[in-house]
Amino acid sequence: MNQDQLKALVAQAAADYVVANAPEGSIIGVGTGSTANLFIDALAPIKSRLRGAVSSSEAGSARLCGIGVEVFDLGAVTELQLYVDGADEIDPKGAMIKGGGGALTREKIVASVAKEFVCIADVSKLVAVLGSFALPVEVIPMAAPAVARKLEALYPGSQARLRKTKDGAEFRTDNGCPVIDLHGARFSDAAAEETRLNQIPGVVTVGLFAQRGANLLLVGTEKGVEQRRY
């Protein structure tokens, strides 16, 4: 199976998990990215069981609307049973790097009100130590150069690069902010590093999801979908 097939496998497993674990009429949290998109597609046949969804991006909202799932503002809900999303990397404790698609801030916010974070990933996302994937950091625009310098100072040998779009323009998130991608840093104590990086003035969100990591991982492997609880 190729990576896309493994993603489709876990996306379907996550939809099955929703049926088994979210009471009928639930509003669920839905993430962003190619794996989350396949999860949205897998929700289509079971959408009548759901009251709706809270999405972590404009793109996710559009896809949910496209299959006829009502999208709610986060302000309309006090708690979500489940939040289902992909990851760029996940370590043995369930800590993740997220934000490859630039939706890290809304992902962290929506995940924070969910009882359970269900991470869906193909096996290539499993790592012993986070950091091979460049760490996304969303920043206030005027702070970008200062934050980039600070990041490189904190992780000697690392490189902080302002994210660009394919046509070379400065990337902006749904919140209108740039993203710095930090290459060459390693995060063995991801929760402590998340706290440390959150203290830098101008940082909106760091793409380490450790303090609120995954509760359940559905990982797509050649042998099928494996479950890991954290």
Instruction: Considering the complex, state which of residue 51 and residue 230 has its C-beta at the smaller distance from ligand 5RP.
Output: 230
Instruction: Considering the complex, state which of residue 69 and residue 214 has its C-beta at the smaller distance from ligand 5RP.
Output: 214
Site string for ligand 5RP, 102-131 (x = CB under 6 A): xxx--x------------------------
107 is catalytic: yes
User: In the complex, what is the shortest distance from the CB of residue 134 to ligand 5RP, in angstroms, rounded to a whole number?
Assistant: 11
- The DSSP annotation for the chain comes to --HHHHHHHHHHHHHHHHHHHSPTTEEEEE--SHHHHHHHHHHGGGGGGEEEEEESSHHHHHHHHHTTPPBPPGGG-S-EEEEEE--SEE-TTS-EE--TTS-HHHHHHHHHTEEEEEEEEEGGGB-SSBTSSPEEEEE-GGGHHHHHHHHHHHSTT-EEEE-B-TTSSBP--TTS--EEEEES--BSSHHHHHHHHHTSTTEEEESEE-TT--SEEEEEETTEEEEEE-
Window contacting ligand 5RP (CB under 6 A); options: 69-77, 95-103, 178-186, 221-229? 95-103
Distance CA 59, CA 171 (A): 15
Instruction: Considering the complex, state which of residue 117 and residue 155 has its C-beta at the smaller distance from ligand 5RP.
Output: 117
Binding status of residue 94 toward ligand 5RP by CB under 6 A? no
Instruction: Considering the complex, state which of residue 151 and residue 173 has its C-beta at the smaller distance from ligand 5RP.
Output: 173
Instruction: Considering the complex, state which of residue 25 and residue 99 has its C-beta at the smaller distance from ligand 5RP.
Output: 99
Indicate which residue of 58, 89, 107, 226 is catalytic.
107
Binding status of residue 98 toward ligand 5RP by CB under 6 A? yes
Query: φ, ψ for residue 20 (rounded to 5)?
Result: -80, -25
Show contacts with ligand 5RP in window 57-86 (CB under 6 A): 85-86
Binding status of residue 88 toward ligand 5RP by CB under 6 A? yes
Write out the catalytic residue numbers: 107
Q: Which stretches of the chain bind ligand 5RP, using CB under 6 A?
A: 31-36, 85-88, 98-104, 107
